[in-house]
Amino acid sequence: MRKNLNVIAAYSIMMGLIILVGIFQSWNIALSIFNLCLISAVMTMGANIQWGYAGLINFGIMGYTALGGLAAVLISVNPVQEAWSAGGLNILFSLFLIIGMVLAIRYVLNKYEKSKTRTYIIASIIILGIIIIRFVSEPGIEAIEEVDPAKTGFLGGFGLPIIFSWIVGALFAGGLAFVIGKVALGLRADYLAIATLLISEIVIAIIKHEDWLTRGVKNVIGLKRPAPYEVNLQQTEWFINLVEKFNSSKLSLISDLTERQATLNQFVIEGSSIFVKLCYSGLFLVVVVILLILTQKALYSPWGRMMRAIRDNEEAANAMGKNVVKQHLLIFVLGSAIVGIAGAMLVTQDGLFTPGSYRPMRYTFLIWVMVIVGGSGNNFGAILGGFVVWFLWIEAAPIGLYLVNLTTAGLDDTHFLKVHLIESVPYFRFLMMGMGLLLIMRYRPRGILPEKIEIK
């Protein structure tokens, strides 16, 4: 117990802060911060597995998040029959062609010795394949995108409950990570960072511009929800009774009947959105707890020890007969899959998929700040980092506004400096993140909750 005192203290402070937001701002804001903190926590757990356990640097988090989001769309949206009949065949045929291309390359790779001719053969297979696929797919794509472009214009998905997408998102992200890992993991640390960053940009470019699959920048809105809708809740009997019970003391103070009904309605509307958010919190909390148990178990298992050995001294681990390349690939896939879950969760919560919103600042670098600030190598630290940094990211603007008002209190309200500073309050969050990262890296390089390895 005593050993974990700092963990408990840190988490209590964090929870206290969120509760304070609930009391002073509103419970709605507090819960939406909390939900996004949970999603961030999942992302940081994924990044922490790669960086903290194995020392692999992955700046492609944004790409995996987006793939998770794409999974949410492909799983939950109902299939667009017209689009399928218009161009589905072409797309399926192109898919077969791609598979055929990959198999052909594999065959060539296995069959022939490494030589210049082999490289040329592979290159020609790829170029020829791309040209054929373009010819096959282009009419299909055009036909699909012409099907009611204002509403659909894409193939749609499978029409399954959106919860399944959390698993599929993990599979998508893991699959991408497998491909990237196969080609890029041999690179040195900083090259790997740049390569993954650029590959994630390519992924985003594809998601943004392949309208037949994702609707691109036209966004997909109104995704199915795992939680009830506010409008429906507001008309259900038991929910109204529940709200009445909760607020009975306040309601009994009002004597006038119509006024009482109006206040109750107000409470019901407010309560419904809080209730929906609580549903999400519950779902997310389950994911976080399951992942936390699994990652903790992995950390203290022989496998975790091996990962740390590889991280701390690759050559020595290799000499002890550990397959470094294979383990790196495994952990790269696992970590990315977890990030994919988070991406699907994010889209599930928002109920919409907006490819244009995926930017490296928010989805890659911020997650890295979370991991570093929280404490890499320590799951509790990484999760805490997700909470602290997301909390500051949201609350930076109010804090910045407060600071600006404080420092410019002597100035007139219309003074140009004050007006300018108040306008730029939203950017204080970047300043805060940067300063936070720099200070932590300098004075507490192992994070708020440093990695602690107990040798039993």
Partner 1 sequence: MDFLNAIILLLNYIFVPALAYGSQLALGAIFVTLIYGILRFANFATGDMMSFGTMFTILFTWYFQSVGIGLGLLPTALLAIPFAIIFMIGYMLLIDKFVFKYYRVNKSPPVQLAMVSIGVMFVTQAVVRIIIGPSDRRFFDGEKFLIKAGEFKDITGLNEGLAIKSTQVITILVTVVLVSTLFWFLNKTKTGKSMRAYSDNEDLALLSGIDPKKIVMITWIIAGILATIGGALYGLDKSFKPFTYFNNMLPIFAAAIVGGIGNPFGAFLGGYVIAFSEILLTYAYKKFFMYVLPESMAPDGLIQLLSTDYKFAVSFSILVIVLLYRPSGIFKGKVL
Residues that bind partner 1 (CB under 8 A): 57, 183-184, 187, 189-191, 193-195, 197-199, 201-202, 205-206, 208-209, 361, 365, 368-369, 372, 421, 423-424, 427-431, 433-435, 437-438, 441-442, 445
Q: d(Cα 232, Cα 235) in Å, to the nearest integer?
A: 5
> By CB neighbour count within 10 A (0-12 exposed, 13-18 middle, 19+ buried), where does 407 fall?
exposed
| Least gap, CB of 183 to partner 1 (angstroms) | 6
| Least gap, CB of 436 to partner 1 (angstroms) | 8
Comparison of 130 and 316: residue with beta carbon closer to partner 1: 130
Alpha helix segments (H runs only) across 77-115: 81-83, 89-111
CB within 8 A of 73, min separation 6: which ones? 157, 165, 214, 220, 223, 347, 353
Comparison of 152 and 376: residue with beta carbon closer to partner 1: 376
Q: d(Cα 39, Cα 31) in Å, to the nearest integer?
A: 12
Taking the CA atoms of 15, 18, 23 and 27 in sequence, report the sign of the dihedral they define. Answer: negative
* 185: nearest Cα among 376, 369, 54: 54
| Least gap, CB of 243 to partner 1 (angstroms) | 42
* 163: nearest Cα among 258, 269, 48, 284: 284
CB 44 within 8 A of CB 61: no
Strand-pair partners of 220: 353
| Least gap, CB of 254 to partner 1 (angstroms) | 47
Comparison of 105 and 184: residue with beta carbon closer to partner 1: 184
| Least gap, CB of 440 to partner 1 (angstroms) | 9
Comparison of 36 and 195: residue with beta carbon closer to partner 1: 195
Comparison of 208 and 260: residue with beta carbon closer to partner 1: 208
Comparison of 219 and 263: residue with beta carbon closer to partner 1: 219
* 371: nearest Cα among 34, 33, 55, 52: 52
Burial track 228-238 (b if 16+ CB lie within 10 A, e otherwise):
eebeebbeeee
Token reading at 253: 């103070």
| Least gap, CB of 186 to partner 1 (angstroms) | 8
Comparison of 34 and 428: residue with beta carbon closer to partner 1: 428
Cα→Cα distances 364→107, 249, 305, 307, 315, Å: 36, 47, 27, 23, 30
Comparison of 207 and 341: residue with beta carbon closer to partner 1: 207
Comparison of 210 and 350: residue with beta carbon closer to partner 1: 210
Comparison of 92 and 205: residue with beta carbon closer to partner 1: 205
| Least gap, CB of 421 to partner 1 (angstroms) | 7
DSSP state of 149: T
| Least gap, CB of 195 to partner 1 (angstroms) | 6
* 200: nearest Cα among 398, 5, 101, 65: 65
DSSP 289-352: HHHHHHHHHHHTSHHHHHHHHHHH-HHHHHHTT--HHHHHHHHHHHHHHHHHHHHHHHHHHHS-
| Least gap, CB of 209 to partner 1 (angstroms) | 4
Q: d(Cα 67, Cα 62) in Å, to the nearest integer?
A: 9
| Least gap, CB of 69 to partner 1 (angstroms) | 19
Q: Which three-class secondary structure state does DSSP give residue 220?
A: strand
